[in-house]
Structure 1
Amino acid sequence: MTTLLLVPLEDTVIFPTMDVTLPVDVGDEEQVLLVPRHEGSFASVGTIARVAERVRLPGGVRGASLEGVARGIAGAASTDAGGRLRVEVTESPDVVPVDGRTRTLEREYRAVVDEILDLRGDDGRVASFLRSITEPGALADTSGYSPDLSFDQKVRLLETIDVTERLELALGMQRERLAELQVRRRIREDVESGANKQQRDYFLRKQMESIRKELGEDDGSIVDEYRTKIEEAGMPDAVREQAERELDRFERTGEQGGEGQMIRTYLDWLISVPWSERSEEHLDPVGTREVLDSDHAGLDDVKDRIVEYVAVRKLRQERGIGVSPSDTRKLASRATSHNGAILTLIGPPGTGKTSIGESIARAMGREFVRMSLGGIRDEAEIRGHRRTYIGALPGRLVRALRDAGTMNPVILLDEVDKVGADWRGDPSAALLEVLDPAQNSTFRDHYLDVELDLSQVVFIATANQAETIPGPLLDRMEVIRFDGYTVAEKTAIARDYLFPRQRERNGLHEEEVAVSDDVLELVVREYTREAGVRQLERELGTLLRKTATRIASATATAPVTIDVELVRDALGRQKVFQEAAIRTAVPGVATGLAVTGVGGDVLFVESTSMDGKGGLTLTGQLGDVMKESARIALSYVRGHAHELGIDPHGFEDTEFHVHVPAGAIPKDGPSAGITMTTALASLLTGRPVKHTVGMTGEVTLQGRVLPIGGLKQKVLAAHAAGLTDVILPERNRPDLDDVPEDVREQMTFHPVMTIGEVLDIALEPAPAVHHA
Structure 2
Amino acid sequence: MNQFSRNNTLPLIIIPNTVLLPGKSVTVKVNEEAGASFYDKVAEEDNYGIVLAVKGDKIDSFDEQDFYTVGTLVKVEEAKPLKDGYHFELDVIERVYAEEIIPDGEDFKVTYGIIPDVVDIDENSQSEMMKNVKSLVKEISANFKGSEAYVDYINNLQDIKSMVAYLFPFMNISFDQRQAFLEIRSLREKSLRFLDILIEQREAVRFQVEMTEKFNKKVNKSYREQILRQQLKAIQEELNETGEGNDTKKKDYKKLIQDSSMPEDVKEVAFNELEKLERQSANSTEGNVIRNYLDLLISLPWGKSEVKDIDILAARDLLNSKHYGLDKVKDRIIQHLTIMKLKQNKQGSILLLVGPPGTGKTSLGKSIAEALDRKYVRISLGGVRDEAEVRGHRRTYVGALPGRIIQGMKKAGEKNPVFILDEIDKLSMSANGDPSSALLEVLDPEQNSTFSDHYLEVPYDLSEVFFIATANSLGDIPGPLRDRMEIIDISSYTSTEKFHIAKNHLINSVIEDHGLSSDQLQIEDDAIKAVIEKYTREAGVRGLKRQLSKITRVSAEKIVIGEVELPYIIKEDMLTDILGRDSIQYDIAKEKNAPGVVTGLAWTPVGGDILFIEGVTMPGNGQLMLTGKLGDVMKESARISHSLIRSRLSHILKGFEFNKNDIHIHVPAGATPKDGPSAGVALFTTMASLLTGHDVDSKLAMTGEISLRGAVLPVGGIKEKVIAAHRSGIKRIILPKDNEKNILDIPEEVRKDLQFIIVETIEDVLRETLGLELLQPSITNVLEEDNLITV
Per-residue deviation, 1:368: 0.7
Say if 1:617 and 1:658, in contact at 8 Å, map to a contact too: yes
Q: Which one of the candidate residues 276, 282, 302 is aligned to 2:329?
A: 302
2:319 equivalent in structure 1 = 292
Amino acid at match of 1:276: G
Per-residue deviation, 1:636: 1.4
**Which whole-Å CA distance do the structure 2 matches of 1:708 and 1:436 have between them?**
31
**Measured at CA, do residues 693 and 281 of structure 1 come closer, stay the same or move farther in structure 2, by a change above 3 Å?**
farther
Indicate whether 1:505 and 2:535 are aligned.
no
TM-score (norm 1): 0.66
Q: Which one of the candidate residues 341, 346, 350 is aligned to 2:349?
A: 341
Q: Which one of the candidate residues 684, 695, 716 is aligned to 1:677?
A: 684
**Measured at CA, do residues 471 and 486 of structure 1 come closer, stay the same or move farther in structure 2, by a change above 3 Å?**
same
Per-residue deviation, 1:414: 0.9
1:209-234 deviation line (CA, Å, top 9, x unaligned): xxxxxx999x9774x52223222332
1:31-72 deviation line (CA, Å, top 9, x unaligned): xxxxxxxxxxxxxxxxxxxxxxxxxxxxxxxxxxxxxxxxxx
Amino acid at match of 2:323: H
1:384 equivalent in structure 2 = 392
1:124-149 deviation line (CA, Å, top 9, x unaligned): 9xxxxxxxxxxxxxxxxxxxxxxxxx
**Measured at CA, do residues 703 and 194 of structure 1 come closer, stay the same or move farther in structure 2, by a change above 3 Å?**
same
Per-residue deviation, 1:498: 1.3
- After superposition, where does 1:688-699 map in structure 2 within 5 Å? 688-699=695-706
Amino acid at match of 1:234: S
Q: Secondary structure at the match of 1:731?
A: helix
Q: Which one of the candidate residues 251, 262, 268 is aligned to 2:289?
A: 262
Percentage identity across paired residues of the two chains:
49
Per-residue deviation, 1:493: 0.8
**Which whole-Å CA distance do the structure 2 matches of 1:473 and 1:746 have between them?**
41
**Measured at CA, do residues 617 and 257 of structure 1 come closer, stay the same or move farther in structure 2, by a change above 3 Å?**
farther
**Which whole-Å CA distance do the structure 2 matches of 1:551 and 1:586 have between them?**
54
**Unaligned regions of 5+ residues in structure 2, if any?**
1-142, 145-215, 224-242, 774-791
Say if 1:587 and 1:686, in contact at 8 Å, map to a contact too: yes
**Which whole-Å CA distance do the structure 2 matches of 1:252 and 1:396 have between them?**
31
Indicate whether 1:534 and 2:565 are aligned.
no
Say if 1:432 and 1:472, in contact at 8 Å, map to a contact too: yes
**Unaligned regions of 5+ residues in structure 1, if any?**
1-122, 125-187, 196-214, 319-337, 767-772
Per-residue deviation, 1:557: 1.9
1:91-148 deviation line (CA, Å, top 9, x unaligned): xxxxxxxxxxxxxxxxxxxxxxxxxxxxxxxx99xxxxxxxxxxxxxxxxxxxxxxxx
1:557 equivalent in structure 2 = 565
Say if 2:589 and 2:730, in contact at 8 Å, map to a contact too: no
**Which whole-Å CA distance do the structure 2 matches of 1:572 and 1:679 have between them?**
38
Say if 1:485 and 1:716, in contact at 8 Å, map to a contact too: no
Worse overlay, 502-511 or 746-755: 502-511
**Which whole-Å CA distance do the structure 2 matches of 1:528 and 1:448 have between them?**
47
**Which whole-Å CA distance do the structure 2 matches of 1:546 and 1:216 have between them?**
57
**Which whole-Å CA distance do the structure 2 matches of 1:648 and 1:635 have between them?**
17
Q: Which one of the candidate residues 730, 734, 737 is aligned to 1:723?
A: 730
**Measured at CA, do residues 565 and 663 of structure 1 come closer, stay the same or move farther in structure 2, by a change above 3 Å?**
same
Say if 1:525 and 1:720, in contact at 8 Å, map to a contact too: no
**Which whole-Å CA distance do the structure 2 matches of 1:408 and 1:754 have between them?**
53
Amino acid at match of 1:458: F
Say if 2:589 and 2:728, in contact at 8 Å, map to a contact too: no
1:222-266 deviation line (CA, Å, top 9, x unaligned): 4x5222322233211121111111111111123412222222222
1:483 equivalent in structure 2 = 491
2:270 equivalent in structure 1 = 243
**Which whole-Å CA distance do the structure 2 matches of 1:480 and 1:731 have between them?**
21
Q: Which one of the candidate residues 429, 452, 457 is aligned to 1:449?
A: 457
Say if 2:766 and 2:772, in contact at 8 Å, map to a contact too: no
**Measured at CA, do residues 677 and 273 of structure 1 come closer, stay the same or move farther in structure 2, by a change above 3 Å?**
same
**Measured at CA, do residues 727 and 267 of structure 1 come closer, stay the same or move farther in structure 2, by a change above 3 Å?**
same
**Which whole-Å CA distance do the structure 2 matches of 1:291 and 1:255 have between them?**
54
Say if 2:587 and 2:610, in contact at 8 Å, map to a contact too: no
Per-residue deviation, 1:373: 1.0
**Measured at CA, do residues 504 and 748 of structure 1 come closer, stay the same or move farther in structure 2, by a change above 3 Å?**
same
TM-score (norm 2): 0.64
- After superposition, where does 1:575-614 map in structure 2 within 5 Å? 575-582=583-590, 585-614=593-622
Amino acid at match of 1:428: S
**Which whole-Å CA distance do the structure 1 matches of 2:509 and 2:253 have between them?**
47
Q: Secondary structure at the match of 2:656?
A: helix
- After superposition, where does 1:614-633 map in structure 2 within 5 Å? 614-633=622-641
1:276 equivalent in structure 2 = 303
Amino acid at match of 2:468: I
1:735 equivalent in structure 2 = 742
User: How large is the Cα RMSD of the aligned pairs?
Assistant: 3.0
Q: Secondary structure at the match of 1:437?
A: coil
1:664-687 deviation line (CA, Å, top 9, x unaligned): 443322111112112222222333
Say if 2:601 and 2:725, in contact at 8 Å, map to a contact too: yes
**Measured at CA, do residues 294 and 759 of structure 1 come closer, stay the same or move farther in structure 2, by a change above 3 Å?**
same
Say if 2:611 and 2:667, in contact at 8 Å, map to a contact too: yes
1:356-413 deviation line (CA, Å, top 9, x unaligned): 1100000000111111111111111111111222221111101111111111100111
Worse overlay, 392-401 or 624-633: 624-633
Per-residue deviation, 1:513: 2.7
Say if 2:526 and 2:571, in contact at 8 Å, map to a contact too: no
Amino acid at match of 1:615: Q
2:43 equivalent in structure 1 = none
Say if 1:381 and 1:427, in contact at 8 Å, map to a contact too: yes
1:311 equivalent in structure 2 = 338
1:362 equivalent in structure 2 = 370
**Measured at CA, do residues 622 and 189 of structure 1 come closer, stay the same or move farther in structure 2, by a change above 3 Å?**
farther
1:425 equivalent in structure 2 = 433
1:471-506 deviation line (CA, Å, top 9, x unaligned): 111111111111122221111111111111222233
Say if 1:623 and 1:666, in contact at 8 Å, map to a contact too: yes
Say if 1:441 and 1:455, in contact at 8 Å, map to a contact too: yes
1:528-582 deviation line (CA, Å, top 9, x unaligned): 3322111222222222333333333444322232222112322333333453324
How many pairs align? 543
Per-residue deviation, 1:763: 4.6
**Which whole-Å CA distance do the structure 2 matches of 1:649 and 1:763 have between them?**
18
Q: Which has the larger radius of gyration?
A: 1
Indicate whether 1:412 and 2:420 are aligned.
yes
Say if 1:465 and 1:597, in contact at 8 Å, map to a contact too: no
Amino acid at match of 1:430: A
Per-residue deviation, 1:279: 5.7
**Which whole-Å CA distance do the structure 2 matches of 1:307 and 1:279 have between them?**
21
1:233 equivalent in structure 2 = 260
Amino acid at match of 1:259: E
Say if 1:605 and 1:679, in contact at 8 Å, map to a contact too: yes
Per-residue deviation, 1:425: 1.2
Q: Secondary structure at the match of 1:600?
A: strand
**Measured at CA, do residues 270 and 717 of structure 1 come closer, stay the same or move farther in structure 2, by a change above 3 Å?**
farther
Amino acid at match of 1:717: A
Say if 1:340 and 1:459, in contact at 8 Å, map to a contact too: no
**Which whole-Å CA distance do the structure 2 matches of 1:719 and 1:278 have between them?**
51
Indicate whether 1:252 and 2:279 are aligned.
yes
Amino acid at match of 1:655: D
Amino acid at match of 2:727: A
**Measured at CA, do residues 238 and 566 of structure 1 come closer, stay the same or move farther in structure 2, by a change above 3 Å?**
same
Per-residue deviation, 1:584: 6.9
Say if 2:615 and 2:690, in contact at 8 Å, map to a contact too: yes
Say if 1:377 and 1:421, in contact at 8 Å, map to a contact too: yes
Say if 1:279 and 1:366, in contact at 8 Å, map to a contact too: no
Say if 2:307 and 2:344, in contact at 8 Å, map to a contact too: no
